[in-house]
Amino acid sequence: IPCHKLVLMAASPFFATMFQSDMKESKQPEVQLGFSDAATIKMLVDYFYSGNIVITSDNVMDLVAASEFLCLADLKKHLGSFMIKTIKSANCIKLYMLSHKYSLGNVIPPCLKYILSHFSEVFRESDDFLNLSEEQLVTVLSDDGLVAQNEDFVFHSVDRWVKENLENRKGKFVQMAALIRFPFFTQELLGHVES
């Protein structure tokens, strides 16, 4: 993708550091970027020249990753605002995990709020919750704002999360189960758990 070094340096601290140092890339006519696909890089180069970028639900995650790599703080903030506007059951867990990974502090609370208030729907319709880290799942389960169909559903969700990676998570079940409100279990599940 043809572009001017000065434009890249002005747009990105990553490129400014690269081209002002003794790195081999500073003297080469071409730079290989292996952090993203060609379409995302082309969008970013166009953005560097025009100041405009089309953000969609399909490209936002790639753009966030690229923005992090290239140290594009303003774009990353703009992407975070877009993410907040698009939170729904189908994507809230992915956005929550992405927000943690790339330190999008302004996106984490609205994602968590959505997950908590739509817990049953989110955990029933998507398997993304199976990829939550232990810390992230503890955050969800321990929040008093958690609204679930019933505690049986919460128990079964934790059980599925543990079984998804049984080898690494089997020791976590007791810790997770301690966060479930056993007094609100149905008699049927309570009898099953006791046995």
Task: Give me the domains of the chain, ranges plus CATH numbers.
Answer: 111-195 (1.25.40.420)
Q: What is the pLDDT of residues 127-158, one digit of tens each?
A: 999 999 999 999 999 999 999 888 888 888 98
- Measured distance CA(109)–CA(116) in Å, rounded: 10
Hey, what are 184's tokens?
């609100």
Q: How far apart are CA 11 and CA 46, in angstroms?
A: 11
* pLDDT value at residue 34: 72
Contact between 178 and 154 (Cβ < 8 Å): no
User: How do residues 78-125 score in pLDDT, each as one tens digit?
Assistant: 999 999 999 999 999 999 999 999 999 999 999 999 999 999 999 888
pLDDT in tens, 27-85: 666 777 777 788 999 999 999 999 999 999 999 999 999 999 999 999 999 999 999 99
Query: What pTM was estimated for this model as a whole?
Result: 0.83
pLDDT greater at residue 1 or residue 169: 169
Q: Name the more confident of 20 and 31.
A: 20
